Amino acid sequence: MSELLPVAVLGARGRMGAEAVAAVREAPDLELVAALGSSDPLDSLVAAGARVVVDLTVPEATYDNVVFAVRHRMHAVVGTTGWTPERLGKLGTVLAGAPATGVLIAPNFALGSVLATAFAATAARYFESVEIIELHHPDKIDAPSGTAVRTAQLIATAREAAGVPAAPDATRDAPDGARGAGIDGVPVHSVRLRGLTAHQEVLFGSPGEQLSLRHDSFDRASFMPGVLLGIRSVAQHPGLTVGLDGYLDLQAGTSS
Ligand SMILES: NC(=O)C1=CN([C@@H]2O[C@H](COP(=O)(O)OP(=O)(O)OC[C@H]3O[C@@H](n4cnc5c(N)ncnc54)[C@H](O)[C@@H]3O)[C@@H](O)[C@H]2O)C=CC1
Ligand SMILES: O=C(O)C1=N[C@H](C(=O)O)C[C@H](O)C1
């Protein structure tokens, strides 16, 4: 029988962390060796012999957690939001000193969401207008969601590469926030509503037609296959990967 892969979960008592702890415990090929909360020292990851660290904490903590993991040659699977281009750049420098170590930063682990974002990037060049509405539970501390930021960035990149002009918007007079947050030029509107989990709709418009790409996570169970895929695959992907799509062959629909 092959050895179990030793896994640690950071943020283990949070909404996502608790779900991830249960998923790792249930996986026959994984062993949960540490489940850390905000007051637990990171040194215990070393003592526990973790090979993969799953970070589901808060934007203020995630960078230091991942740098600690990389410096100790542990792979990291990260669902936490707050990864700015500056932080990603700094992490890249740290990773250059540990070339065999892999870090996956996944704004969304739900396969349907990953596909919806990829479809949005494909559609982006063909429509005159685009806006994103993301809808989440009201206990979420960040806005816009990491998924919406990533989707907006990919849409903006695709439109720029195709030479699509900025979407027309004749608004002259509006209170702050009325047109959402402009992420790389894409308006993103954030809804926080009790009863919701995690939802996103990308609206594309051209004269006489609209395309809506909507994804709904009704339960955090939707994220667990992606978390497990990340844990099992991260060692085969040294360096930094942003987006679970980096581990999927979306053309053929298989994992790599
Ligand atoms: N990538 C994805 O598919 C998903 C990502 N998320 C993201 O994951 C993060 C966590 O979300 P939730 O579980 O809903 O939040 P939460 O607030 O329920 O859990 C966060 C937990 O992290 C703990 N924590 C804070 N600092 C820590 C530290 N230094 N070390 C260890 N634990 C620490 C907190 O005490 C709390 O228990 C957020 O950034 C959220 O946006 C959430 C759902 C899916
Ligand atoms: O906080 C959440 O709940 C979620 N956070 C991630 C994000 O900000 O995109 C992923 C998902 O939307 C759920």
Assess: ipTM above 0.85: yes
Residue 12 Cα to ligand 1 middle (Å):
8
CA dist list (Å): 253 to 232, 247, 248, 256:
18, 11, 7, 10
Shortest-distance atom of ligand 1 to CA 137: 14
Question: Is 87 known as a binding-site position?
Answer: no
Q: What is the mean pLDDT of residues 173-202?
A: 98
Nearest CA to ligand 1 atom 27: 38
Cis peptide before 144 (omega within 30 of 0): yes
Ligand nearest to the CA of 66: 1
- Could you give the CA distance from residue 92 to residue 239 in angstroms, rounded to a whole number? 8
The answer to whether 148 and 213 have CB atoms below 8 angstroms apart is: no
Please write down the HEC assignment for all residues of 27-61. Answer: CCCEEEEEEECCCCCCHHHHHHCCCEEEECCCHHH
| Distance of CA 170 from the midpoint of ligand 1 (Å) | 39
Segment 47-76 shows an average pLDDT of: 98
Q: What's the rounded mean pLDDT across residues 130-137? A: 99
Please tell me the predicted confidence (pLDDT) of residue 256.
58
Ligand 2 mean position, distance from CA 12 (Å): 16
pLDDT band at 255 (very low <50, low <70, confident <90, very high): low
Can you give the pLDDT at residue 227?
Answer: 98
249 vs 32 pLDDT, higher one: 32
pLDDT tens string 20-49: 999 999 999 999 999 999 999 999 999 999
Residue 140 annotated as catalytic: yes
Given this model, what pLDDT does residue 116 score? 98
* 149-184 per-position pLDDT tens digit: 999 999 999 999 999 999 999 999 999 999 999 999
Q: Is 146 in the pocket of ligand 2 (CB under 6 A)?
A: yes
pLDDT confidence of residue 249:
83
Indicate whether 253 pLDDT > 60.
Answer: no
pLDDT tens-digit series, residues 66-94: 999 999 999 999 999 999 999 999 999 99
Average pLDDT, the chain: 97
Quote the percentage of the chain above a pLDDT of 70: 98
| 195 contact partners, CB below 8 Å, separation of at least 6 | 137
CA nearest to 56, candidates 6, 18, 89: 18
Residue 250: predicted pLDDT: 84
Domains of the chain: 5-105+220-255 (3.40.50.720), 111-217 (3.30.360.10)
Catalytic residue among 72, 75, 90, 140: 140
Q: What is the DSSP code (8-state) at residue 84? A: -
Q: pLDDT-based confidence at 254, cuts 50/70/90? A: low
